[in-house]
Structure 1
């Protein structure tokens, strides 16, 4: 029974997310302070809650596709999962109250969005992609928010770059999976506008993020940062261009666009971290 409740939170994913918030802290200040450590349990608990409510909402689908998951396997009851997710959300929000008001508001909003996403947004074309991209990128907002408005604004740039890159990749992944999604009854943006136009939109999103990355908005902006970020930007643009040049899902998969885009995003994040520590 206890194992089921642990498994439904996807503990590995939740713990990693908790510690990942420190990346936002480092980018905002160049170091990790003791007061920022309170963010780890907040993010871990809310991520765990989001995973739990997601399994609750997907319990009928999982009964067919993933019967070994906690709810369909019977180790966690649907009612138990619902109550457990509520407890986890409340615990994360409660702890965020002791961080500061901005962190508290972000925690409340993200918790609300995770519930709405699990229940409704996941099945909506583009809207669901936007929600996932925001939630992934918001970890940088949260990491900066512990230092107030100044930290939030500093990391708003990294948030924006990550959001546009993530949204671009989300759309390309939907374009790769278009045939399988059709058979499964899912509705994604590429089904409505096609793979080619999806690739064009993804390229525009990537170029928007690249333009933001080059603006003198970071405290560590300078010649060293520019040289490094241009390399990462080149990888990201090349990846998006590969997607744009693909005419269908088969050629898109063969292009390796989404894999290259992911590598470019990791490289850009590494550059942000190095720049924040050495030149911030």
Structure 2
């Protein structure tokens, strides 16, 4: 095949968006910490799980999304690999299919739970972007699919891998679900940069459905309220210092949200860079609280 008819490795890497791999890798690590179990004899499985969460399943979701969003990206981000022509023909789809297969193969050593989680994560990735479901056409459903896959599913999988494939403790599952709900708001932050293309192509993101300010308020409430419930649960579980730490992180986020709410379109990227890290830091604090309880 002539070199000009296939993408360069750098273009493939750009399609897979390594910067997006961090959230599920972090959530998987939080699940590992929350399990309270030692790493002895599990290092290989944990490293494989981190690889699966980020460079495989999450990367697959990025390739799938770019392929089925090529018309949207032609409006919003024409410099992306597919609309720019740097990834010619159907190579975007081929990469998505190849990475799906690699993800399934890598999940096999993780046992029934790890493999099942990979299947579910990949199913959500394709359902989010690909017809006929194309969940992203509805901002509520699409963001929920991403948040559950990136945060809750990765957290529970990390805890399950540490427990040799058994179901994690109910407390760990509860925190995973709460942080998934909070991550729904984080997903909304990404939609402010693509309002024109979403509206033109029938993508009902929350900024399109609710307007810029309505979506910004919804995102903030969705991020803050689940964290407040986490604080209440940590107090109930007799972890007051961890509850206080998460509470302090919430207050810092709320203060930063004032700047975001004043101009959501201009400040969404800023808040993603400075406010969201406080959210994910709270995840780790909560995980250590569970570890102490175990």
Specify the TM-score bucket, using the shorter chain as the normaliser.
0.7 to 0.9
Query: 1:215 is matched with which residue: 214, 233, 239?
Result: 233
CA distance in 2 between counterparts of 1:229 and 1:215 reads 11
Query: 1:266 is matched with which residue: 280, 286, 294?
Result: 280
- TM-score normalised to the size of structure 2? 0.73
CA distance in 1 between counterparts of 2:171 and 2:64 reads 32
* Count, aligned residues: 274
The structure showing larger relative contact order (alpha-carbon pairs under 8 Å, at least 6 residues apart) is: 2
CA contact (8 A) 1:125 1:189 kept: yes
Root-mean-square deviation over aligned CA pairs: 3.8
Between 1:18-27 and 1:141-150, the stretch displaced more is 18-27
CA contact (8 A) 1:243 1:252 kept: no
Matches within 5 A, 1:82-121: 82-119=93-130, 120-121=134-135
With over 3 angstroms needed to count, the CA separation of the structure-2 counterparts of 1:68 and 1:93, relative to structure 1, is same
The aligned residue for residue 46 of structure 2 is 36
CA contact (8 A) 1:56 1:78 kept: no
CA contact (8 A) 2:179 2:227 kept: yes
Residue 81 (structure 1) aligned with residue 92 (structure 2): yes
Query: 1:10 is matched with which residue: 5, 17, 23?
Result: 17
The aligned residue for residue 143 of structure 1 is 158
Q: CA deviation at 1:10?
A: 2.5
CA contact (8 A) 2:143 2:184 kept: yes
CA contact (8 A) 1:23 1:273 kept: yes
CA-to-aligned-CA distance 1:62-97 (integer Å, 9 cap, x gap): 345444433334443343332222121122122212
- TM-score normalised to the size of structure 1? 0.76
Q: Which secondary structure state, in structure 2, belongs to the residue aligned with residue 77 of structure 1?
A: coil
Q: Which secondary structure state, in structure 2, belongs to the residue aligned with residue 126 of structure 1?
A: helix
CA contact (8 A) 2:245 2:285 kept: yes
Q: CA deviation at 1:27?
A: 2.4
